[in-house]
A and B are shown apart, each in its own frame.
Chain A
Amino acid sequence: QQQVKQSPQSLIVQKGGIPIINCAYENTAFDYFPWYQQFPGKGPALLIAIRPDVSEKKEGRFTISFNKSAKQFSLHIMDSQPGDSATYFCAASVYPGNTPLVFGKGTRLSVIA
């Protein structure tokens, strides 16, 4: 049973474009929603995270939008750059994060110049 569904599997955008990656969750107990970024040959690293008390969070060019009623959240990357090319994973857990993360299957993003 997949508790976090992520789409699309892969995404190609032009430099400067705004890729959007979507995730949906099922477990209403989840209240912590991080996004991890992974470069080839490396471990995932936390990019940005949100909790349900806000509907949007921005950190630099990265924005999470959160819709609690729809149980969906998404990652937007503004002014995307080739260096943003990586695999992105959404995840969910019960805060404060000492419980295991449930990951989506990942989105491979390619930003072409």
Chain B
Amino acid sequence: DAGITQSPRYKITETGRQVTLMCHQTWSHSYMFWYRQDLGHGLRLIYYSAAADITDKGEVPDGYVVSRSKTENFPLTLESATRSQTSVYFCASTSGQAEQYFGPGTRLTVT
């Protein structure tokens, strides 16, 4: 199916564990973004990518790592998860013509 997908949709992990959130889009959009959504904070940008092998930090990048070896994939890794990283994570993509398309989100709980 065409679109943008995220996996897993729900994840519970322990403090200190490494966890990777996957994002895949089928439109061949050049630009991809990771946001986190927290009550009272809205959506905050973690990292973004303008093309394969080009990534840049957003507002809240600490504790996160991204890679983009293929245009369609943009995984987000929490190297050593902390409770403050409990959040809902959204991936988005755009061709560069204004509208960003969001995935369904991953709800991550760090215990």
Cα of A65 to Cα of B35 in the assembled complex, Å: 27
- Interface residues on chain B, number (Cβ under 8 Å): 26
- CB contacts (< 8 Å) of A6 on chain B: these are 42
- CB contacts (< 8 Å) of B45 on chain A: these are 100-102
Contact A105 B42 (CB under 8 A): yes
Cα of A45 to Cα of B104 in the assembled complex, Å: 10
Contact A98 B50 (CB under 8 A): yes
Given A96-B97, A100-B58, A105:B41 Cβ within 8 A: yes
Contact A98 B94 (CB under 8 A): yes
A12 within 8 A of B: no
- Interface residues on chain A, number (Cβ under 8 Å): 23
Q: What's the nearest-Cβ distance from chain B to residue A73, in Å?
A: 16
B100 within 8 A of A: yes
Contact B98 A34 (CB under 8 A): yes
Choose from B31, B50, B94, B102 the contact partner of A44 (Cβ within 8 Å).
Answer: B102
Q: What's the nearest-Cβ distance from chain A to residue B86, in Å?
A: 17
Q: What's the nearest-Cβ distance from chain A to residue B109, in Å?
A: 15
With CB as the reference atom, state the residue of chain A lying closest to B95. Answer: A98
Cα of A41 to Cα of B88 in the assembled complex, Å: 10
Choose from B30, B43, B50, B102 the contact partner of A45 (Cβ within 8 Å).
Answer: B102
B74 within 8 A of A: no
- Residue of B40, B99, B103 ringed by the most chain A CB atoms within 10 A: B99
Residues of B within 8 A of A (CB): 30-31, 33, 35, 40-45, 48, 50, 58, 90, 92, 94, 96-105
Of the A-B pairs whose beta carbons lie under 8 Å apart in the complex, a sample of 6, sorted by A's number, is A41-B105, A45-B102, A89-B43, A97-B99, A98-B94, A104-B42
